[in-house]
Structure 1
Amino acid sequence: MQQTSGLMFSYMKKSEFHQNCIPKEVKEREAAVAASIPTGGAKVGDATFAKLDVVTQDTIWKQCVNVEKKGAQEWAKNWGFLTEFDEKGEPRPPKEEPEKVTQFSDILPNTNAGNYGSRLTTPVAQNIQDLEHRFNSQNRRRKLDNEMVCY
């Protein structure tokens, strides 16, 4: 792969069959967009990015994320020692983390249903719940009368 201005393009030419299948207007648009992509490490502008097809946009996005991830790893490797010391140059004590931590909150509900259900203890919520129950009573299944039972 060849790297150009932060974008990765394949150095292999597409097949002749592939080139013949692409409409002329699309080829011209792709050529114009490719010519408008800045070089020299400059970033792709929003207008240029909007002209690209979805697959190319996704590829550019993945490359940007990978560059960001590699940058964070490089920073940790080169400058991570700075996090071990405070402003005066004295070593920071390591943070003590509990051995076992639950991912669920004891105070806040963890789901939207929990958000709804956690507020049903108020009188207004009880009244609304009662109204909903009565409103939907006609839609519930119920036992048929003896006259309607055929067995």
Structure 2
Amino acid sequence: MESPLTPGLQRTTSAGYRLPPARPPARGGPGAVRSLGSQAPKTQQVAREAKEGVKQDQLWRELQEAEWQGRQRWVQNWGFLKDYDPMGNKKEPEKLPDYVPLFSDTAPNSTNQVVGSRLDTPLGKTLIGMDFFFMEGARKKKLEDELQPI
């Protein structure tokens, strides 16, 4: 398609394939009716896809409702089983601690409380040394005296 800004250039895709020249839209007359007629299947397709989207949404809602109802039926019919072990003995509920400290005495504190918790172990020290050794080529180096700017 030749545009006023780039005369003589052909349209291509990002992979470099040439696209067929696009026809400019007709303005008035019998050509305009044809161009609107070519748009009708596209609008029908969009409408069909919209209906399919509505149908998919309705199916999703029905699935969620069925799952919720199934959960409620299980609680009514079989919920008592959660209070007993496989041998039929009544389970004692697990007692939760009254206080849990926010910070650890053994692991360093970080944003997610995990990073750096095992760096002081022998394996952690070995990994740090290996990282230092393997990253040697990527590290910045001071230029020699003759290469220093004056």
Which bin holds the TM-score, normalised by the shorter protein?
A: 0.3 to 0.5
**Larger RCO (CA under 8 A, 6+ residues apart):** 1
Give the TM-score normalised by structure 2. Answer: 0.37
Report the TM-score when normalising by structure 1: 0.37
Larger CA Rg, structure 1 vs 2 = 2
